[in-house]
Amino acid sequence: MGQSELESFYADVNGALAGAGVTFTPQGSATLALGADGAFTWTPAVQLDAAVSGTTILVTIGGDITGTYSATADRITTANQSTDGLQVSATINGAETDAGTVTQEIAGAPVTDASYTCAGDTLTLVSQIGGAPATSVLHRG
């Protein structure tokens, strides 16, 4: 996921959280490696400006999530995943603060439980964030 795909994904997230008083503005990229053996690695390198009730929180998401997945003709799900390598931190004016549960949810791998389509070198995943669809578009390469 490049910058434009992140912006599109977070537009969906912001729409899902419209009544919650929080909006996210992303900067960065993320990669998803799916192995033929059923293993995956999700590697986000993202900074988010999270505007919460008039306060901006800088959220940094890095590291990786690893695990195994299975796929049917139109759905992909994880059998297990480890967030041991995922790093999520947040600051307000340089002081550390709690990143919050919503940030933890959106930092997660998009293959947790998603419908998908493939066209050429593009994988499109549609997962649920806050009960609304959020689309992740990934390109091979």
Q: Where are the beta strands (DSSP E) in 10-141?
A: 22-34, 39-52, 55-63, 65-71, 75-82, 86-92, 95-97, 113-119, 122-129, 132-139
Query: What pLDDT, in 10s, does the model give residues 23-69?
Result: 999 999 999 999 999 999 999 999 999 888 888 999 999 999 999 99
Domain ranges of the chain: 3-139
Does pLDDT of 98 surpass 90? no
Residue 84: other Cβ atoms inside 10 A: 9
pTM, rounded to two decimals? 0.86
Q: Which residues are paired to 58 by β-bridges? A: 49, 91
Give the CA count within 13 Å in the CB-facing half-sphere of 94. Answer: 0
